[in-house]
Amino acid sequence: MPFHIQYLKKSLDSSHLKESIQARILESFDAYEALATPAQKAQWIQDEMLLLDEEVGEAEAKRIMQNCGRQCIGRSMLDKAIKLQKAARDLDDLLDRLNHAHIGGGKLLRKGNKIHASYDRCYCGSVSKSRLQIPLTYCHCSCGWYQQLFETLLGKPVEVQLIDAIAHGAQTCQFVIHI
C-alpha cells in the first residue's frame, strides 16, 4: 500500500500545531507528488519524519502518524473484519479468522490482555522498496491502523505499542495491542 500524503496532511491539519510549524512541515508536500521512484519517495519520507520529530517532538509526531494510520485502514477493511467478528465465538476465534483473512499481518496472537502482532514484510510500498532506514515515527501509522481496527471490533479504546519495524532495519514489524 502506498503512503497517502493526504492522510498525513489531514492529521497535521487537525493537530492544532502553530501555523509557522505546520507551514514548515507542509512546505515540501507538493514536491512529493512529483517524485517518481520508490527511493525518492523513501528519502522524502525519511526527511519529513526527521523534520516532524524535530518540529513537534516525539510524542506529538507519533500521535500525528497514528491519526494518519487510522485513516489508512479504510472502511472496506473494517467491514470485512466486522463480518469476521460476527461469525467468531470469542476473541481467540476472531484472531484466528483475522489471521486466515490476512488482516493485521496474519500473525495475531493473544496473551492475556495483550495481542501480539507482527509482519514479515513492510506493507508500505513507499518505503518497502528502499534500503533506506526510516525513523520509527513513520511506523506509528501502523499503530493507528491497529488501533482503529481493534477499537472498532472491541468497542473500547486500545493502546498500541510499536516494538520494532522493518523500515527501521528490523527483520519483522512487531506490535503489542493492549486490550
Q: Is the pLDDT of residue 36 over 60?
A: yes
Q: What is the predicted pLDDT for the residue at 2?
A: 60
Mean pLDDT on 61-65:
94
Mean pLDDT on 30-36:
85
Percent of the chain's residues with pLDDT above 70 = 99
Q: What is the predicted pLDDT for the residue at 57?
A: 92
Exposure string for 33-51, b = 16+ CB within 10 A, e = fewer: eeeeebeebbbbbbebbeb
Q: Is the pLDDT of residue 46 over 90?
A: yes
Q: What is the predicted pLDDT for the residue at 48?
A: 92
Number of structural domains found in the chain:
1
Q: Is the pLDDT of residue 179 over 80?
A: yes
Q: What is the predicted pLDDT for the residue at 45?
A: 92
Domain hosting 14: range is: 5-178
**Enclosing H/E stretch for 105:** none
Q: Is the pLDDT of residue 150 over 90?
A: yes
Q: What is the dihedral of CA 16, 18, 22, 24, to 10 degrees?
A: -170
Mean pLDDT on 51-60:
92
pLDDT digits (tens, 9 = 90+) for 7-22: 888 888 888 788 888 8
Task: Extract the runs of DSSP E, i.e. beta strands, from the chain.
Answer: 108-111, 114-119, 159-164, 173-178
- Rounded to two decimals, the pTM is 0.91
Main-chain phi, psi angles of 138, to 5 degrees: -60, -40
Burial class (CB in 10 A: 0-12, 13-18, 19+), 122: buried
Q: Is the pLDDT of residue 23 over 80?
A: yes
More confident residue, 36 or 141: 141
Q: What is the predicted pLDDT for the residue at 30?
A: 83
Mean pLDDT on 131-140:
92
Mean pLDDT on 83-90:
98
- CATH code: domain of residue 173: 3.30.1380
**Mean pLDDT for all residues in the chain:** 92
